[in-house]
A and B are shown apart, each in its own frame.
Chain A
């Protein structure tokens, strides 16, 4: 089982490295959306410090969401997704591997870049580190829940917007706790709640995603 699990992760990471443009473009999107806030709302430092964490979380959320169709669409098109479903290894495990690889190439760059963007909003160091922690807990949840949406809409017209419609309402709790953690004087409760959501998502989302994939491939 571990052979298959790590095999999936290695393969997807290898593919991401050879398709660097895809990975980089979602990272650039994060940066651009982050820059839109001061452009739209004005550069006044006090205001930017107030909206910074929320704005960065929204940028991370949108960027994460846009990257979702990379998860299954290409595999579906070239037939490798079918072969994955036909493997004797548990589909849930293989799907979990794919989601993990996706987060490694989507979420981790966001977490690493966030201090730079936090600087642009003038956030103090302590708030920045809380923000990074909330992103570290929150972005995997976004990938996990997003995977369900990506699987449900596989091959369906309406693509990116449809995924957004399905997945954004489900993202709301993550946004609330994540952004809330960065602005709260005591972020512990928020981070604990995020951790709880993460645990629940890890337990349930791969299974729901596998079910959705089976439905999509019929």
Chain B
């Protein structure tokens, strides 16, 4: 995999992780999310090691991986409601349906997720970023978020990301197509030749 990766992220910054297939981009993102343990080194959030502040970190971070994390047998709005519940939030059916309507999934909201197209499923997966949950989480870690999205949906995603940066949010992402984003600062990390930088990954406090 990769060795000697060192990075640091602050408010408003976006870090794009690049690298050839198999260089470990997904592994790095998962390690930052706390799903995988690094063999050496550590991830820190606001100066504290992840193990010490797991609950706080998870309430302030959203990770969306390759898998849509959508239940086929549940209706689209049910997916949103239950994924919110799993995170300890109560989301009413009305609110979920409104969220989906705002994303252009108004009619699809009543369909089981298995009936949705790839693009619609991805938009459903990304719906978490648009609601209250997205606003409460200063760190977003997204693995190829624009995959399967058409032009309009990709544009909507970029708008949401720019709003996120404006709020002081941070982003770590990978993508195969360039996304027109406007963070306070755009950083890049290429796993094929990691650049030596400063301390272990840490997040600044959101504004």
A and B touch in the complex (CB under 8 A): yes
B61: A residues at CB distance < 8 A: 86
B88: A residues at CB distance < 8 A: 1, 3-4, 87-89
Alpha-carbon distance between A78 and B73 when the two chains are bound, in angstroms: 12
| B36 close to A (CB within 8 Å) | yes
Q: 1/0 per residue B165-191: CB within 8 Å of A?
A: 000000000000000000000000000
| B16 close to A (CB within 8 Å) | no
| B194 close to A (CB within 8 Å) | no
| A144 close to B (CB within 8 Å) | no
Residues of A in contact (CB 8 Å), total 28
Of A8, A82, A217, most buried by chain B (CB within 10 Å of CB) is A82
Interface of B: prevailing SS: loop
A1: B residues at CB distance < 8 A: 88
A15: B residues at CB distance < 8 A: 71, 73-74
Q: Are A78 and B72 in contact (CB under 8 A)?
A: yes
Partner of B86, one of A14, A19, A77, A87: A87
Interface of A: prevailing SS: helix
**Interface residues of B toward A: which range?**
20 to 34
> Separation in Å of the A55 CB from the closest CB of chain B?
35
B68: A residues at CB distance < 8 A: 78-79
Q: Are B67 and A78 in contact (CB under 8 A)?
A: yes
| A157 close to B (CB within 8 Å) | no
B86: A residues at CB distance < 8 A: 4, 7-8, 11, 83-84, 87, 89, 94
A87: B residues at CB distance < 8 A: 58, 86-88
Sample 11 A-B pairs with CB under 8 A, ordered by A number.
A10-B85, A14-B78, A78-B68, A79-B66, A79-B69, A82-B65, A88-B55, A90-B55, A217-B35, A217-B36, A218-B35
